[in-house]
Amino acid sequence: DTGVSQNPRHKITKRGQNVTFRCDPISEHNRLYWYRQTLGQGPEFLTYFQNEAQLEKSRLLSDRFSAERPKGSFSTLEIQRTEQGDSAMYLCASSLVIGTKETQYFGPGTRLLVL
Amino acid sequence: AQSVAQPEDQVNVAEGNPLTVKCTYSVSGNPYLFWYVQYPNRGLQFLLKYITGDNLVKGSYGFEAEFNKSQTSFHLKKPSALVSDSALYFCAVRDMNNNAGNMLTFGGGTRLMVKP
């Protein structure tokens, strides 16, 4: 399978704990995006990387959220001191940008439940 | 700012009948428009996109969408619906002039129910 993969697929945690999610993009894709999707809503943009550089992070929901893509390949999204309101599906997408043309391909998501 | 509206929470159609899922958008510049489909407990699957060119765009699984600049719409269509088309459909827009990282802005989604 050469699509975007995300791990874990499901995470249950207690309020106040830290969680980390991993995304492996499609090989050779230079952009990687993180989105959050709450029940009954469309995905909401959080942040994105061009290779290893994080070019937009103002949409991260709070300073408890952080993301890395250290070698320009896989990425991690960390949520510190989780709150019940963080319960959602976290989606990763990757793309290969050629000029101005780009299509984002999404992974299956990580569903987070904060108790 | 860019935004997308999907005015119908749910669309019901009988198998074999044509279907339309509506989408309108707002951007300050020229739009890139996308349709994605989401099956239960799955990520979003790309269906089709409009960048420039023909207003009628053909995509996966027999779906097509018509870009209408004057009405700022990008409705998804299929001539003959299948029960297996039942899923959640999302329209998304990106402003070609958006400097905020090519982020996609999604609509709230429309649930398509195709009944046998």
pLDDT digit string (tens) for B43-60?
A: 899 999 998 888 999 999
Annotate chain B with three-state secondary structure.
CCEEECCCCEEEEECCCCEEECCEEECCCCEEEEEEEECCCCCEEEEEEECCCCCEEECHHHCEEEEECCCCEEEEEECCCCHHHCEEEEEEEEECCCCCCCCCEECCCEEEEEEC
Give the Cα separation of A64 and A62 in Å (integer).
5
Pick from B36, B49, B101: which is nearest to A55 by CB? Answer: B101
Give the Cα separation of A23 and A26 in Å (integer).
10
Do the chains contact at B44 and A59, CB–CB below 8 Å?
no
**Mean pLDDT value of segment A17-25:** 98
**Mean pLDDT value of segment B18-25:** 97
Share of chain A above pLDDT 90, in %: 73
Do the chains contact at A42 and B106, CB–CB below 8 Å?
yes
**Residue A44 sits at the chain B interface (C-beta within 8 Å):** yes
Say if residues A83 and A114 touch (Cβ distance below 8 Å).
yes
Q: Which chain B residues have a beta carbon less than 8 Å from that of A33?
A: 103-104
Higher confidence at residue B6 or residue A61?
B6
Q: Whose structure tokens read 């600049």?
A: B69
Alpha carbon of A89: minimum distance to chain B alpha carbons (Å): 9
Give the Cα separation of B7 and A97 in Å (integer).
31
| CB pairs < 8 Å spanning A and B | 62
Pick from A31, A103, A107: which is nearest to B43 by CB? Answer: A107
What's the pLDDT at B37? 96
Say if residues B37 and B89 touch (Cβ distance below 8 Å).
yes
What's the pLDDT at A1? 53
The CA–CA distances, whole Å, from A95 to A26, B49, B84 equal 8, 14, 27
A23 pLDDT band, cuts 50/70/90, is very high
Express each pLDDT in B76-116 by its tens digit.
999 999 999 999 999 999 877 655 567 899 999 999 999 99
What's the pLDDT at B14? 98
What's the pLDDT at A104? 92
**Mean pLDDT value of segment A80-88:** 96
Share of chain B above pLDDT 90, in %: 78
The CA–CA distances, whole Å, from A56 to A22, B60, B79, B91 equal 19, 31, 40, 22
Do the chains contact at A33 and B103, CB–CB below 8 Å?
yes
